[in-house]
Structure 1
Amino acid sequence: MIQYDAIYLKIRDAIVTQQLVPGVRLPEDKLAERFKVSRTAIRKVLQQLAIERFITIQPNKGAEVRTPSATEAQEVFESRILIETGLIPAIAKHWQPHHAEKLRKVIEQEDRAKDENDFAAAIRYTALFHIELAKVANNDTLTQFVEQLAFRSSLIIAVFGTKHSVGCDCGSHIELISLLDNGEVNAAKTWMEHHLEIIQNSLVFDKDNKAVDFDTLFH
């Protein structure tokens, strides 16, 4: 029997890689049958995905992949630019070599995912980098905001993004690490703002939905 975490990851990654596109229904019975688990187990997975805003669950309608609007996407990135750029001075103030080392390990995983054309993993590690970076500022409230926005951005990029959204065009995170290592606070703020703006401008809002065969998808 497939464990809860494995089912969660399979469905989430299918959403992130656009194999499950916005508006696609996620019927409990079909998913339970496919994964050979109870509908209660599937319901638990879907509830977790709803909490993380990957899907929506409506009474008498069931679950479907969430459809962020273009306006929401723009607002999320505008919010990230304001908060994450504003956090740079605090990050620089608390910056230590062990922070750089930890973030470099995340970057290595991110770069490996890009090299392997693993779009889902690249999005995941990109979000993780920004969350871990925000933690350096030692402000739990703002870190929670960044975490929420990063998760929402992951879905937005999965829905509206392209390889340019996580590729070289938006700059490598290692560049930001170098700026922080050298204490170049203003340059780091400029880098972060430009980085997020490039991702925001890479989004495409005219993608079409398609039918899904769950047996083929979750083989």
Structure 2
Amino acid sequence: MSNDDIIYQKMLKAIVEHQLPPGERLPEDKLSEAFGVSRTGIRKVLQRLALERFVVIQPNKGAQVNRPSRREASEVWDSRILLEPLLIPAISENWNDKLSQQFRTMVELEKQANLNGEVAQAIQLTAKFHYELARVGNNLVLAEFVEQLCYRSSLVIAAYGSRESVNCDCGDHMSLVDLLDRGLVSEAQHWMRHHLVHLKASISLTGKQDTHVDFGKLFA
């Protein structure tokens, strides 16, 4: 993995885990100092993040973490509500005992993170459950799309979410694994749709106050 890729992964992780909140300015000089690389290298990473809509770059103003509009926030969740239940039949066809155990372990880790108050870890594990599940359907294009939507959902939660958005009370992911184990496709589709609709409803489109980040400490 190249140095640019390492920096990209660290910055993406910080955004997805809300350590870099929406609206946070990303000065090239401070990031260059934090990572010990040139501003040119930082600029390449910021441009890559901008292409994926995690970062916004404005002429004469520099880069900042994207703060999704209310419309975009709603459309991201609507896209997931439409798409993820449709993947369930293909996922069910490929489901087996090994996958069941793999996803049960993932859910247990997610639960433990919530119990320990490790919000960033819980958010990452929740997103991972959804996009890894999409990969089981063996359509890599759709799986990559779901992965991007999961990342963007996390950004939406960072901007507009509540505690309920992180620790959903609409039933944990283990319920879905149980349905897949039993081959109950329609029920699993209904569960997924209800789950995502509930999460969307937990989003309050009012925004949050910006915070200031110590880049040197964050990326040490």
Q: How would you bin the TM-score normalised by the shorter chain? A: 0.7 to 0.9
| SS of residue in 1 equivalent to 2:144 | helix
Secondary structure of the structure 2 residue equivalent to 1:170: coil
Task: Give the corresponding residue for 2:23.
Answer: 23
Q: How far apart are 1:97 and its partner, in Å?
A: 1.2
Q: 2:52 and 2:165 mapped to 1: Cα distance?
A: 21
Shift of the 176–85 alpha-carbon distance from structure 1 to 2, 3 Å rule, reads: same
Instruction: Give the distance between the partners of 1:168 and 1:205, measured in 2 at CA.
Output: 18
Q: How does 1:75-114 map to 2 (within 5 A)?
A: 75-114=75-114
In the alignment of these two chains, the number of paired residues is 217
The alpha carbon displacement at 1:67 in A equals 1.1
Aligned to 1:189: 189
SS state at 1:212 partner? coil
- Deviation of 1:130 after TM superposition, in Å, equals 0.8
Deviation of the 1:151 alpha carbon: 1.7
For each residue in 1:48-106, what CA deviation from the matched residue of structure 2 results, as whole angstroms up to 9, or x when unmatched? 43243221123433211101111111111111111111111221122111221222232
CA–CA distance in structure 2, aligned partners of residues 141 and 44 of structure 1: 25
- In structure 2, stretches of 5+ residues that fail to align are none
Aligned position for 1:151: 151
Task: Give, in whole Å, the separation in 2 of the partners of 1:132 and 1:18.
Answer: 21
1: CA distance, partners of 2:14 / 2:144: 25
In the other structure, the counterpart of 2:132 is 132
Q: Mapping of 1:158-177 within 5 angstroms?
A: 158-177=158-177
**1:162/1:17 Cα in 2 relative to 1: closer, same or farther (>3 Å)?**
farther
Deviates more, 1:71-80 or 1:29-38: 29-38
Percent of counterpart pairs with the same letter?
A: 51
The answer to whether the 8 Å contact 1:22/1:209 transfers is no
Q: For the residues of structure 2 that align with 1:5 and 1:109, how far apart are their CA atoms?
A: 27
Contact 1:107 1:173 in 2 (8 A): yes
Deviations 1:148-172 (A, max 9, x none): 2112112112221222112141321
Output the TM-score relative to the length of structure 1.
Answer: 0.86
Q: CA RMSD in A?
A: 2.4
Amino acid at match of 1:68: P
In structure 1, the partner of 2:121 is: 121
Equivalent position of 1:66 in the other structure: 66
Kindly indicate whether residue 57 of structure 2 is the aligned counterpart of residue 57 of structure 1. Answer: yes
Match of 1:43 in 2: 43
Deviates more, 1:177-186 or 1:35-44: 35-44
